[in-house]
Amino acid sequence: MAERISAQSQPAGTQWTTKRFHVKHSTNLRTIETAPESGDFHETPLARELTVNNRRLRDIDSQPIQRPQRTRIFTISNQKGGVGKTTTAVNLAAALAQKGLKILVIDLDPQGNASTALGINHHAGTAGIYEVLIDGISLASVVQASPEMPNLFCVPATIDLAGAEMELFSMFDSTQRNLRLRQAIEHYLVEQPDRPDYIFIDCPPSLGLLTVNAFAAAREVLIPIQCEYYALEGLSQLLKNIDLIQRQLNPNLKLSTILLTMYDSRTRLASQVADDVREHFPRETLNAVIPRSVRVSEAPSYQQSVITYDKSSPGSIAYMEAAIELANKGANNG
């Protein structure tokens, strides 16, 4: 029972009246209308979105993917935090692995979020990328298989990695400290008869020594760019650093891919940022755009990629489309 004040127009001088409304609750759930008639449902925005997503999934399942001639090594980097670096590394890896390719993710971020998302053990004391960089143990000895799918692997990051940059400075000369990761990957590829098709290096949100190692080891740079106001801030400095690495450490490095992330189709700003990025980097920017998605954010808490957590969600579909485009666009870049 609830008391409401009548808001209907009253003649001048008439006092407001209080009325009591009685709500009768039905215990028969079948009498409650929860959806429009079936004929009307197909005209709703939700129904149209479901139809489009189902069609996109069918296209993804039927579309072939090219295997690279040799291992493609990507560093996924952007010194700006919160742009989707780890999310992109994990979900592109899972999407390509689902297509039958062999994928290795190297978690180079001390936070270890890529390891968590792939269901990889990375508690203190676990051998991982820190031991590879500092102690010189082989990369093959620390690779773990992800429970996500059988051909997806990860080199974990532990909290020990937080002090790795200072140790690299104190233990190695100026040349060796920058090439530790490259040497480890080169040895790994020689030792492995069944080489991975892709190696994704997930970098920390900085331009420190760990990121320099990633740039020196990779052949391609993938930059996730958030579709928001500060998206291009700091990008020029990142490009200068890539140019510096090319001249001094790795002449084979190139910026091959830009992926627009956290796109909100409801805002004009997101469209403007996307247009600006495509204008400046028309060949590098993928057509696929990653939307803002609750499912993408939820998946890591279940130690999963969004590809296995909710394959039919818009975020998952977008990452699968991006993975196919990345593979087929640059199959000769390995």
- Provide the domain limits for residue 172: 70-329
For the chain, helix (H) and strand (E) counts, in that order, are 13, 10
Does residue 32 lie in a domain region?
no
> In whole angstroms, what is the distance from residue 287 CA to residue 91 CA?
17
Residue 47 lies in a domain: no
53 pLDDT band (50/70/90 cuts)? confident
Q: Which residues contact 249 (CB under 8 A, 6 or more apart)?
A: 178, 179, 212, 215, 216
**In the prediction, which pLDDT does 202 show?**
96
**Does residue 58 lie in a domain region?**
no
In this predicted model, what pLDDT tens digit does every residue of 126-163 receive, in sequence order? 999 999 999 999 999 999 999 989 899 999 999 999 99
Assess if residue 98 is contained within a domain: yes
Does any domain span residue 1? no
| Domain presence at residue 51 | no
pLDDT band at 331 (very low <50, low <70, confident <90, very high): low
Q: Is residue 27 part of a domain?
A: no
Residue 92 resides in a domain: yes
Domains held by the chain: number: 1
Distance CA 45, CA 266 (A): 14
CATH number at residue 152: 3.40.50.300
Task: Specify the range with the lowest mean pLDDT, choosing from 7-11, 77-81, 117-121.
Answer: 7-11
Question: Which letter does DSSP use for residue 331 in this model?
Answer: T
